[in-house]
């Protein structure tokens, strides 16, 4: 796509229409730190799926036409638009931050011209992967860039020098570094250079490409196969601030119900009530705290959504779920989009009759195969279909289900991929699969969230495999079908951190690994790392070696228990982080660079992460290792287990026998914890225990009913605890709106140490 000379412009409020010799493009100041750059092909507006409502606010903006282009100034940035629709961004002092690249792209030449001639026209596999784009945006590399985000990708934290695709993909092979795409498409990244940080969000749902300097050291580029050129330049003085601006656009993840932060046990293969019961009993008998049991596809009748195979549950799934609930277990059921093609099956008949399924270009219901065999695909782009799907959740809620696990929603299909031409809706406009593919899971999650919210009133709990930018408003996510291999425990650190940096904070991996057989050592190390992930679920594939906590004898069981209990004690801390996340978009699991941007080690650290800004985990992710190198960034830190002190920046070898995950806590921390229990609501949350780490600092702690939306009406307690260099602690209440505040607040100075009661300041 080429643009000519900038021949004119018109400005109305923050919206600037640009004329490039008759071709009209636009620039829109959304806030003082966010500028949208767009070109609408044939003037067709495509509603954003990621952004809900109007985000543009009135922003003091000044325009100046200069020789080198049209300059747009806000308080915190300036943008220059010049001939060819080049857009450059500068900081308030006028220093260049993000410039368009003016030269020609120089794609990597893999074949000689002779070879190319030979292969041309033959559809040879060596020619595949040549990327046809409707548009490309090519940006100059300043040189010191590190790139973070891009949603769920394999490989390492820093995406510089790699290239990726956005095309939600279900590929069962073990996911390794050179995968271009996984199940999720979040076309947002942040660039950190020696002098600046900024983000770019390309709001385009088509198959798209991000080459982060693989092709060249001079530029990076992104582009999409179809749709409009539409991206947001997002400024900020830190990664945290840029991410906050991104979540201002696309939303944050709402505070979840407290029990969702507990431990989840799952496996594809729990077929009957007896199978589930054995697991439930195992949890309590082995003293492994557990809140959630997942029901994979076998609970359904012939894999038909919104049915229950009653025979496998003694004819009474409602009664069984109730008995589980009485013992503190919440049921989460899987729900796939594919609706079995079977006349007489209500969901299918209704969908056909109302025209709720995607169609072939000829107007027939499009059929492909998934678990139930031939199946039709709900057209989630249509508001009526989303409403229908949302209302259908009633069946599951009435059975006693407390959360919905959306799977296979890339959408996955067994008889080859859905052709790009399958007809879907985009609200009331008809379009094709090529445009709606990457938002299929997103819209399914939205339908599910809204349905649950309307039916139940509590904070909906949804898990998804596929998603798009902004899905965090409706759903949590797991990273899909990993394997029980060491490279996948390694990968979870950058993977979950980058998801967090892409606006998806409530995420986790299948603990122990999904495919392949786990080993006792791998499972032990995985629970040591996984207990820090917001979504904490052990899940495995049909036919793999069972991996419930007790499958490998006493040693692994003890380790498992130790870390699940550690997780439970920290739930108040996790919950506080969610409060913060809902307001600021800051993820719970953070790469070190999130708080130590200037630190070169932190920028590329792939084997440690932070939980909030106080806790640093350095899990062992190598087979056989019983010690590992630990890096602590600047400041004073305490070893969580021994209280040994370190002053960063420092690297050292930490002892890490099989039962030890090295964990460090920043000096001046007050970590809110709760008393041991076998599930979150087993006892009232009437006692708070503060783990104190001397140093100067404070912590804001929140308490509410952990269940509904009353906190949004002020029904919560907000405490602030302050710690001093000598370890003394004080606390006060900043907001008192919750009817059941703590009865006791205790202070503890060492892991097993005695506690003393804290009196709050008046
Ligand atoms: C998919 C899911 C997996 C699930 C399986 C059967 O592979 O990713 O988690 O167990 O389908 O439903």
Distance 444 CA to ligand 1 centre (A): 17
Nearest ligand 1 atom to alpha carbon 465: 8
Ligand 1 shell residues, CB under 6 Å:
268, 296-297, 334, 407, 465, 480-481, 539
Looking at residue 129, what is its pLDDT?
Answer: 54
What are the start-end ranges of the H helices in 127-251?
239-250
Task: Give me the phi and psi of 69, to 5 degrees please.
Answer: 140, -175
Q: Whose CA is nearest to atom 7 of ligand 1?
A: 481
* Cβ-contact 282, 83 below 8 angstroms: no
**CB neighbours of residue 601 within 10 Å:** 16
Q: How far is the CA of 224 from the centre of ligand 1 (A)?
A: 29
* Coil vs helix vs strand at 515: strand
pLDDT averaged per 10 residues, the chain (length 762): 94 95 96 97 90 96 97 98 98 97 88 83 63 92 98 98 97 95 98 98 98 96 96 98 98 98 98 98 98 98 98 98 98 98 98 98 98 98 98 98 98 98 97 98 98 97 98 98 98 98 98 98 98 98 98 98 98 98 98 98 98 98 98 98 97 98 98 97 97 97 98 98 96 98 94 89 88
User: For residues 670 and 723, is the Cβ–Cβ distance under 8 A?
Assistant: yes
pLDDT of residue 132: 82
How many whole angstroms from its chain centre is CA 180?
A: 18
Q: How far is the CA of 474 from the centre of ligand 1 (A)?
A: 20
What 8-state DSSP symbol labels residue 394?
A: H
The closest residue, in CA terms, to atom 4 on ligand 1 is 268
Q: Which residues are 568's β-sheet partners?
A: none
Return the ligand 1 atom nearest residue 336 CA.
12
Strands 401-406 and 330-335: parallel
Strand partners, 628: 654
pLDDT confidence of residue 246: 99
| Contact (Cβ atoms closer than 8 angstroms) between residue 471 and residue 587 | no
**Predicted local confidence at residue 123, as pLDDT:** 66
Integer Cα distance of 40 and 48 in angstroms: 13
For residue 217, the Cα-to-chain-centroid distance in whole angstroms is 29
DSSP at 256: P
| Shortest-distance atom of ligand 1 to CA 514 | 9
Name residue 645's beta-bridge partners: 638
Shortest-distance Cα residue to atom 10 of ligand 1: 268
SS3 383: helix
Q: What is the DSSP string of 32-61?
A: TTEEEEEE-GGG-----SS--S--------
* 203: preceding bond cis by omega (within 30 degrees): no
Centre of ligand 1 to C-alpha 480, Å, is 8
| Residue of 408, 575, 406 lying closest to 505 (CA atoms) | 575
Output phi, psi for 204, to 5 deg: -145, 130
What is the pLDDT, as a whole number, of residue 117? 82
Ligand 1, residues 514, 515, 543: which to mutate, most atoms within 8 A of Cβ? 514
- Looking at residue 14, what DSSP letter applies? T
Between the CA of 13 and the centroid of ligand 1 the distance, in Å, is 49
Active site residues: 407, 410, 481
Probe target for ligand 1 pocket from 334, 370, 511, with the most ligand atoms within 8 Å of CB: 334
Of ligand 1's listed atoms, the one at least distance from the Cα of 296 is 12
At CB < 8 A and 24+ separation, what contacts does 421-424 make?
421/360, 421/361, 422/358, 422/359, 422/360, 422/361, 422/366, 422/377, 423/358, 423/359, 423/360, 423/361, 423/363, 423/366, 424/358, 424/379, 424/381
Q: Determine the residue of 270, 407, 411, 479 to mutate for testing ligand 1's pocket, defined as the one with the most ligand atoms within 8 A of the Cβ atom.
A: 407
Euclidean distance between the first and final Cα of the chain, in Å? 65
538-585 pLDDT, tens digit each: 999 999 999 999 999 999 999 999 999 999 999 999 999 999 999 999
Name every residue whose Cβ is closer than 8 Å to that of residue 596 and which is 6 or more positions away in sequence: 602, 633, 634
Centre of ligand 1 to C-alpha 267, Å, is 9
Give the separation between CA 233 and CA 39, rounded to whole angstroms.
Answer: 15
């Amino acid at each position: 796509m080429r643009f000519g000379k900038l021949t004119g412009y018109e400005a109305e409020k923050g919206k600037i229409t640009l004329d490039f010799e008759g071709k009209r493009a636009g620039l829109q100041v959304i806030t003082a730190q966010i500028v949208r750059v767009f070109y609408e092909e044939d003037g067709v507006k495509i509603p954003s799926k990621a952004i809900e409502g109007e985000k543009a606010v009135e922003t003091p903006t000044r325009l100046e036409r200069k020789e080198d282009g049209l300059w747009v100034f806000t308080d915190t940035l300036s943008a220059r638009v010049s001939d060819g629709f080049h857009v450059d961004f500068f900081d308030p002092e006028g220093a260049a931050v993000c410039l368009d690249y003016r030269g020609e792209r120089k794609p990597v030449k893999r074949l000689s011209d002779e070879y190319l001639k030979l292969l041309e026209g033959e559809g040879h596999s060596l020619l595949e992967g040549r990327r046809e784009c409707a548009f490309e945006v090519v940006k100059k590399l300043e040189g010191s860039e590190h790139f973070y985000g891009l949603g769920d990708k394999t490989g390492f934290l820093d995406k510089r020098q790699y290239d990726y695709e956005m095309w939600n993909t279900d590929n069962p092979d073990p996911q390794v570094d050179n995968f271009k795409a996984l199940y999720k498409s979040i076309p947002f990244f942040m660039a950190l250079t020696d002098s600046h940080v900024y983000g770019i969000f390309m709001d385009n749902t088509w198959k798209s490409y991000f080459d982060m300097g693989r092709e060249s050291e001079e530029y990076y580029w992104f582009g999409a196969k179809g749709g409009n050129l539409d991206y947001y330049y997002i400024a900020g003085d830190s990664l945290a601030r840029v991410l906050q601006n991104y979540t201002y656009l696309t939303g944050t993840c709402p505070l979840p119900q407290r029990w969702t932060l507990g431990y989840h046990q799952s496996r594809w293969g729990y077929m009957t009530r007896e199978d589930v019961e054995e697991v439930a009993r195992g949890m309590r008998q082995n003293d492994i705290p557990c809140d959630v049991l997942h029901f994979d596809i076998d609970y359904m009748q012939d894999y038909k959504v919104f049915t229950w195979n009653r025979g496998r549950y003694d004819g009474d799934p409602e009664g069984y779920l109730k008995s589980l609930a009485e013992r503190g277990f919440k049921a989460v059921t899987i729900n796939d989009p594919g609706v079995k093609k079977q006349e007489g099956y209500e969901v299918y008949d209704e969908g056909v009759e109302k025209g709720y399924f995607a169609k072939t270009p000829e107007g027939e219901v499009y059929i492909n195969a998934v678990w139930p065999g031939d199946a039709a695909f709900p057209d989630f782009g249509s508001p009526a279909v989303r409403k229908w799907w949302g209302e259908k959740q009633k069946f599951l809620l009435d059975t006693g289900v407390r959360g919905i696990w959306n799977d296979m929603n890339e959408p996955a299909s067994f008889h080859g991929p859905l052709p790009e031409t399958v007809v879907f809706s985009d609200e009331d406009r008809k379009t094709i699969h090529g445009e709606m593919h990457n938002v299929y899971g997103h819209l399914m999650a939205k339908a599910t969230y809204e349905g649950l919210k309307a039916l139940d009133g509590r904070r909906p709990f949804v898990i998804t495999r596929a998603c798009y930018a902004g899905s965090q408003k409706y759903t949590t996510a797991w990273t899909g079908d990993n394997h029980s291999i060491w490279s996948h425990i390694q990968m979870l650190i950058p993977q979950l951190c980058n998801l967090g940096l892409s606006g998806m904070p409530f995420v986790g991996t299948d603990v122990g690994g999904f495919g392949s057989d786990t080993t006792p050592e791998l499972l032990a190390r995985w629970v040591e790392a996984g207990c820090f992930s917001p979504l904490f679920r052990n899940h495995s594939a049909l036919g793999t070696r069972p991996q419930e906590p007790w499958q490998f004898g006493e040693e692994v069981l003890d380790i498992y228990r130790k870390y699940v209990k550690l997780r439970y004690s920290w739930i108040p801390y996790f919950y506080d982080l969610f409060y913060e996340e809902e307001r600021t978009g800051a993820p719970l699991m953070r790469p070190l660079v999130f708080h130590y941007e200037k630190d070169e080690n932190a920028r590329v650290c792939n084997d440690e992460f932070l939980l909030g800004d106080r806790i640093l985990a350095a899990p062992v992710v190598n087979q056989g290792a019983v010690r590992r190198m630990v890096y602590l960034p600047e400041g004073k830190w305490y070893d969580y287990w021994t209280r040994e002190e370190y002053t960063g920046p420092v690297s050292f070898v930490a002892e890490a026998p099989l039962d030890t995950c090295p964990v460090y806590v920043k000096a001046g921390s007050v970590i809110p914890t709760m008393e041991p229990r076998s599930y979150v609501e087993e006892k009232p949350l009437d006692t708070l225990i503060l783990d104190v780490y001397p140093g100067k600092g404070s912590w804001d702690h929140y308490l509410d009913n952990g269940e509904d939306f009353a906190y949004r009406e002020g029904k919560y307690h907000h405490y602030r605890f302050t710690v001093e260099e000598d370890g003394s602690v004080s606390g006060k209440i900043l907001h008192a709106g919750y009817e059941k505040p703590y009865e006791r607040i205790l202070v503890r100075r060492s892991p097993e140490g005695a506690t003393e009661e804290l009196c709050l300041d008046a």
